[in-house]
Amino acid sequence: MKLFVSEGNPHCLKVLAALEVTGVQCDVQYVNHEETVVPFLSRPALPAMFLPSGLYLFSANAICQYLFEVNGQESSELCSQWLEWEATDLQPALLLALHMAVLQGKGSQVSNVLQGPLNYLDQSLSKGNTPYLTGEAVSVADVVLWAALYPVLSDSSLALGERKSVKPWFDRVAAMHSCQSAVQKVLRGKGLQGMKSYMQRQPAPQSSQCRDTQPCNSNPAECEEGERVVSEEEMEAAVLTWSKDLNGGPLATERQHPILPQEGKRNILLTSALPYVNNVPHLGNIIGCVLSADVFSRYGRLRGWNLLFVCGTDEYGTATENKAREEGLTPQQICDKYHAIHSSIYKWFQIDFDFFGRTTTEKQTEIAQNIFWRLHKHEFLVEDTVEQLRCENCQRFLADRFVEGICPHCSYPEARGDQCDKCGRLINAVELREPQCKVCRQTPVIRSSKHLFLDLPKLETQLEQWLDKSTSTGDWTVNAKQITRSWLRDGLKPRCITRDLQWGTPVPHPDFKEKVFYVWFDAPIGYLSITANYTDKWEKWWKNPQQVELYNFMAKDNVPFHSVVFPCSLLGAQDNYTLVNHLVATEYLNYEDTKFSKSRGVGVFGDMAKDTGIPADVWRFYLLYVRPEGQDSAFSWADMALKNNSELLNNLGNFINRAGMFVTKFFEGCVPAMELQQEDKKLLALVGWELQQYIQLMDKVKIRDALKHILNISRHGNQYIQVNEPWKKIKGGDTERQRAGTVTGVSVNIACLLSVMLLPYMPTVSQTIRDQLNAPQSCINTMLQGTGTFVCTLRAGHRIGTVSPLFQKLEVDQIEALKKRFGGQQTTAQSAASAQPAAVPAPAAPAAEVATVNGVDPEKAKQLTQAVAEQGDKVRALKAQKAEKAVITAEVAKLLDLKKQLAVAEGKNPEPAPQKSKKK
C-alpha cells in the first residue's frame, strides 16, 4: 500500500490528516503536481493510493474512508452524506474561492462564494448539537471537511466571519496534533501561498454565472435545467440597450496601411506561425494557425483594436532543398511556386492578412544578422564541434531531413533525422539506426564539424522572469504553458543555430562562412522581417513592448520555439524587443480516424477544398466548430455534413431566412412596429447574455466555444418564432397582427446581430445577411462594444432587400463521394508504396480506383444485414415519434451508410440511388 501526495495540494491535506488520525501504516511518497501516478487518468490526480490488490484510489475522500475502515471505523450513513456534500457542493465553491484568493488576488470576494455552504454547515452543526459532525467522536467526515476548509478558514485575511457553530467545531478538529502535523507537511507554513503552484495547474473553475457552454448531452431532463432564469433587472437593461442609437464612428472595416501603433489604443500585433513553403497546407495547418488568427484579428478589428496581422511563408531550410531536388527545380523556384500556392489557398479561405510576406528577403538577412551580432557581442553564443552524418557520395553534410533511418526509440523504419513521425520524439541524426542519405540512399559516415550554439542556460534566469510575467498576465493556452514548463523543467541546453546548407540566411561570421542559420533561429525572425517589408517603421511594432501586445498563433508543436528559443534570442540581443504576451496554441486536428500527413498525402489539402463545391465559409465554419481547442479533434466528412445540415441549414440559416421572409411576405418588405412585451424582453435578455458570453470567450481566444453562443441565439430565435406563430397571427385581428409584427421585427433584428457575430467566422455569409436585410454597416462596430450592445438596428419602417436561403444541404451521397475521393480508404496501400513521399497529392484519385480495397465479405454482410434492419427500425420509430428533423436526418444518414457498407460486403455497386432513399 502506497500513498502519493504533492505539496501544496489541499486534497492531500485530507489524506495526510486521515493517515495521522487513524495511525494506519502506509508508505508516503511526495511527487510533483504533474506526475502521472494513476495510469488510466489523462489528468494528473493526487492524492492517489496504490492498493495491495493492484487497484488505484484517486479520490481523496475514498482514500480517507478506506483508511478509517482499515482502522475499524466504517463510515455511517451520515458520514457518507457529508462526504458526498463535500464533493458535490462544497468543493466547487472552494475551488472557485481558492482560485480567486490564490491566483486572482480577489480575497475580498471569497466570502460571497463560500457563504452558502458555510451557512449550511453552521446550521447543521447547531441543529445536531454534537461536538462533531456525526456525533460525539471524530469521524472521517470531520477530518475531510476540516481539511477542505482549512486553507480558507485559517486565513484571517479572507474575512469569512465567525459562525457560531462552525468556529468551535473547526478549532476542535484543528487542535488535534495529527491535523497540525498534516498541515505542516502540505502547506509548509506558507498558508494560501503554499498552494499557488498547485492552483495554477488546475483548470479555471466556472463561476455559477458562467454556465457550461454546451449541456453534455441531449437528455431531456437536463435540457429543462438548461433554461436560464432571466431576472427583471436583466430584462430592463436589455431593453435599455435595445433602444440605444447606432454608433456613428468610423467603420471598423476601413483600414489605412501601413497600420502603426497609436497612442491611447489597444495596439495588437498578431502573427500566425509561418507555414513551410515546401508543401500545400492541409486543413489541420489551416485551422491551427492562419484561420484561428484570422478569426481573432477580424474580431479584434470589430472590437475597435488597432491591430496588425502578419504572416508569410517560411522558405529556408533543408525541407525546401529536398523538395527542390524532388521536383527538379532550384530552391528559389520552389519557393516562388509554393508561395503562390499558399497565397491563393489563404485567399480562397478568406484569410485577411494585413501582409502576407516571405522569409527569403534582404530584410530577413539584415535583421537576422543584426540579432546574431548582438548575441555575439553580448557573449550568448558558444562554439562547439558536432558529430554529423556526411554522405561521401553527395559530398556534403546531411542535415536533419536529408537522412532517414530506423527510430532509436520506437523502431519506426522511416524516421527522419530530426524527428520520428510515429512516436514524435526528437532525434539527433547520428542516433538513427541504419541511416541512409535521402538523395542517393548510400550509408553516410560520421564526421565532425564546427558550429555555433545559442547559450540558452545563460539566458535561463532572464527567460524565467519574463515567462512568469507573461504567462500570468497574458492569455496563454494551457498546452502552451505546459509545454513551456516541461522544457524548463528538463533544463535548457545550448542550441545549435548553424547548419551546413546553402539555402538559408548566411552566417556573417568569417569562421562560419560556409554555413547558414538553422531554420528555427531564422524562421521566427521572419515575423520581424515580414513586418519590415510591410513598413519601414516596423520597429514601432517590434521594439515597443510598452505599447504593443503580441499574439502568436500556432499548433502545439511550435510552442517551444515561440516560448523558449525565440524569446531567448530576443532577450539576448538586448534591443527592447516586443516579446509574446499571448501564446495561443491549438492541439492537432486529425483526419477521419487517422492523421493528416503531408508526406503521405492523407487528408484534404488546402487547394482541394475549393474543388469540393462546398463554399469557403462552410469550410471555415466546420473547421472552427471542431477547432482543436484544449484537445485533439478530428475532421470527419459525415460530421461536416451533419453540422452543415443541422446547425447551418436547420438552425442558423432557417432562423435568419424565416425572419427575413416574414418581413417580405407579411409586411411588404418593411420592418413592422414593435411593442415589446414581457416575452420579448426576456428574449432580448437571453440574447444579450449569449452575446456577452461570446465576447468574454472571444476576448480569451476561445474561438470554438464562442461559436456555440452564436448558434444558441438562433436556437432561441427559432423557438421564439415557433411559439409565437407570426404566420397565424398575421391573419388575426389588430392585436394579433400587432403581435406578429413585434415578433417579426425582433427576429429580424436578431438576424442582424447574428450577421455581426458571424463576421469573424463566415465573412461572406455575414455580408450576405446584411445585404439581404439592407442593414447599415454601422451596426458592425456597434454591437460588439463593451460587454455587448444588442441595439435595434432595423427600426420600424426600414426596408429590407431580397431574402434568399443562405446555405445548401449537403447530401449523403455527395459527402460519401467526397470521402472516397479524398482517401482514407487507400492509405494503407499507399503508405506501403510511398518510399518517396508524394507530398502534393494528385488532384483527387478517381473513385473507381478507391473502391477496390474493400472486398466481398459474406460474414460481414450477414452482420451488416442485421445492423441495417436494426437501424431501419430505429428510424421508423423516430419518425413515428415525430422526433426532430435533424435527429432523423442523422439516423437516416447512419442507415444509408450501413446499407452502403452492406452493398460493398455483398459485392454490389455501393452507390445507392439517392432518390429512393429520400422517399423512404
Partner 1 sequence: MALWELSSLEKYLGLKKPNKYSTQGDKKVPVLQNNNGPPLVGLVTLACHLVKEAKRLELLGDSAENRAVVQQWLEYRVTKLNNCTKDNIKTILKDLNLYLQDKVYLAENQFTLADILLYYGIQPIIVDLAIQEQEQYVNVTRWFDHIQHYPGIRRHLSPVVVLRNRIYSSRHH
Binding residues for partner 1, rule: CB under 8 A, are: 39-43, 51-53, 55, 57-59, 61-63, 65-66, 69-70, 77-78, 80-81, 83-85, 87-88, 91, 127-128, 212-214, 216-219, 221-222, 225, 421-422, 593-595, 597, 600, 630-631, 636, 638, 827-828, 831, 860, 863-864, 867, 870-871, 874, 894, 901
290 burial via Cβ count (<10 Å: 0-12, 13-18, 19+): buried
- If the CB atoms of residues 590 and 742 are measured against partner 1, the closer one turns out to be 590
In the complex, least distance from residue 675 CB atom to partner 1, rounded to whole angstroms: 34
747-780 in b/e form (b: 16+ CB < 10 A) is bbbbbbbbbbbbbbbbbbbbbbbbebbebeebbb
Q: How far is CA 897 from CA 67, 592, 814, 845, 914, in A?
A: 53, 15, 12, 21, 12
* C-beta of 615 vs 630, nearer to partner 1: 630
Between 214 and 804, CB nearer to partner 1: 214
**At its nearest, how many Å lie between partner 1 and the CB of residue 55?**
6
- Cβ closest to partner 1, residue 62 vs residue 329: 62
Closer to partner 1 by CB, 510 or 855: give it.
855
3-state helix, strand, coil in the chain (%, to 5): 55, 10, 35
CB of 605 to partner 1, least distance (A): 17
Nearer residue to partner 1 within complex by CB, 499 or 556:
556
Cβ distance to partner 1 smaller for residue 225 or 514: 225
Sign of the CA dihedral running 892, 893, 896, 898: negative
For the bound state, the minimum distance from the C-beta of residue 421 to partner 1, rounded and expressed in Å, comes to 7
3-state SS class at 389: strand
Q: How far is the CB of 864 from partner 1 (least distance, A)?
A: 8
Residue 554 Cβ vs partner 1, minimum distance, rounded to whole Å: 20
CB 33 within 8 A of CB 40: no
Minimal distance in Å, beta carbon 629 to partner 1? 8
Count of positions (residues) in the chain: 920
What is the C-alpha separation between 891 and 875, in angstroms, rounded? 6
How far apart, in Å, are the Cα atoms of 672 and each of 259, 460, 617, 753, 800?
A: 42, 66, 31, 18, 11
Residue type, 754: L
Asked whether the bond before 841 is cis by omega within 30 degrees of 0, the reply is no
Closest to partner 1 by CB, 162 vs 873, is 873
The region that residue 350 occupies, defined by phi over 0 for left and psi between -120 and 50 for alpha, beta otherwise, is left
Shorter beta-carbon distance to partner 1: residue 216 or 848:
216
**Cell numbers linked to 892:** 437516416
Helices marked H in 556-702: 559-560, 566-573, 606-609, 616-625, 637-643, 654-666, 678-699
Give the shortest CB-83-to-partner 1 separation in angstroms: 8
- Min CB(91)–partner 1 separation in Å: 7
Please, what is the minimum distance in Å from the beta carbon of residue 133 to partner 1? 12
Radius of gyration for the chain, computed over Cα atoms and rounded to the nearest angstrom: 31
Give least dist CB 213 to partner 1, A: 7
Residue of 492, 613, 475 lying closest to 552 (CA atoms) = 475
Q: At its nearest, how many Å lie between partner 1 and the CB of residue 318?
A: 22
Residue placing its CB nearer to partner 1 in the complex, 130 or 472:
130
572, 375 contact by CB (below 8 A): yes
Instruction: Choose between 611 and 632: whose C-beta lies nearer to partner 1.
Output: 632
Buried b (16+ CB within 10 A) or exposed e, 158-190: bebeebebbeebbeebbebebbeebbebbbeee
**From CA 527, how far away is CA 444, in angstroms rounded?**
36
Which residue has 392585436 as its cell numbers? 735
For residue 208, the 8-state DSSP code is S
Q: Measured from the CB atom, is 408 or 630 closer to partner 1?
A: 630
